[in-house]
Amino acid sequence: MGEYINKKVLKAAWPIIFGYIPLGIACGILAQKVGFDVWQMLFMAVFLFAGSGQFISLAMIGAGSSILSVVLTVFIVNLRHLLYALILNQHLFQESKLYKAFFAQEIVDESFAVNQTQFSRKSENWTAKNALGVNMVGHSSWIVANVLGLLLGASIYIDTSLVNYILIAMFIGLWSFHFSDYRMVVTGIFGGVLALVLSLWLDNMLYVVVATVLAAAMAAFIWPLSDKDKKAVHKKNGINDSGGAEDAVAAENSAGKEAQP
């Protein structure tokens, strides 16, 4: 278990843990107001595990929305997780299908931000087990906070409108990992402003998905990866672009020497 959860993993995951405690409690309180019991809250926290998706689904259930509309809305909101999985797969392509299935279930915005940051740091020896450990730590803290919030919901009052400010603060904390790179800062600001503008026309958090894709595309177009960056990524993933060509040249030279009298 130490290979998955250790000091290095906990150090990387602490913003998630401290962000999830108030958010998860607020989510549990909202679930209690809707009428969930402990087992329903537990099952939702384990199998859905999507902060925004859970808040939206609880609000829709409380408003009497149909199951189909709840499912479709959560599906649209969480489409961004598909992008997260595709991006992280470049670091995890050598892992088993079972690992990938479990890892994909655990991907959320916060764990993606932490893992992508750690994988991109050349000085950090971040492994697939470390990445899964971050997911597990985050998910566990979310489950505990959800259940705790539901149990507290009947006895104390907490203004759930505070959730919006807590969520923003947590994402700013995660974004701060990239403040040393001006490209990440500019891309983040552009994506945030674009999301605000698109929210005037798009509903159900779809504006977040669209703004994220457009901001990332803009960054990729303006600041494409240099050859040095590409080689660093390939080296990290165990890919050798020039290895095949060099081996072929070496084999040809060897054959030529052997053919000489």
For the segment 37-70, what is each residue's pLDDT rounded down to a tens digit?
999 999 999 998 888 788 878 877 887 878 887 8
Helices 67-77 and 206-222 cross at an angle (nearest 10°) of: 20
Which domain, by its residues, includes 247?
A: 225-261
Please check whether residue 80 is in contact with residue 210, taking contact to mean a CB–CB distance below 8 angstroms: no
Does residue 240 share a domain with residue 144?
no
Three-state DSSP at 166 gives helix
Please check whether residue 112 is in contact with residue 175, taking contact to mean a CB–CB distance below 8 angstroms: no
Residue that terminates a domain, selected from 145, 162, 177: 177
Q: For the chain, how many structural domains are there in total?
A: 3
Does residue 165 share a domain with residue 53?
yes
Does residue 191 share a domain with residue 147?
no
Arithmetic mean of pLDDT over the chain? 79
Does residue 196 share a domain with residue 233?
no
Does residue 169 share a domain with residue 82?
yes
What confidence tens digit (pLDDT) does each residue in 67-83 have? Answer: 887 888 788 778 778 88
Does residue 250 share a domain with residue 187?
no
Please check whether residue 61 is in contact with residue 70, taking contact to mean a CB–CB distance below 8 angstroms: yes
Please check whether residue 130 is in contact with residue 10, taking contact to mean a CB–CB distance below 8 angstroms: no
Does residue 184 share a domain with residue 108?
no
pLDDT at 165: 67
pTM of the predicted model as reported, rounded to 2 decimal places = 0.64
Does residue 164 share a domain with residue 237?
no
Cα 11 from chain centre: 17
- pLDDT band, residue 137 (cuts 50/70/90): very high
Q: What separation in angstroms does the CA of 25 have from each of 15, 18, 45, 141, 190? A: 16, 12, 12, 10, 31
Please check whether residue 202 is in contact with residue 57, taking contact to mean a CB–CB distance below 8 angstroms: no
pLDDT at 244: 42
| Backbone Cα Rg of the chain | 22
For residues 113-128, average pLDDT? 82
pLDDT at 158 over 90: no
Q: What separation in angstroms does the CA of 254 have from each of 74, 247, 248, 250, 260? A: 61, 10, 10, 6, 10
Backbone phi, then psi, for 86, in 5-degree steps?
Answer: -65, -40
For residues 126-146, average pLDDT? 92
Does residue 197 share a domain with residue 140?
no
pLDDT at 260: 45
Does residue 212 share a domain with residue 147?
no
Between 125-129, 140-144, 197-201, 247-251, the lowest mean confidence (pLDDT) is in 247-251
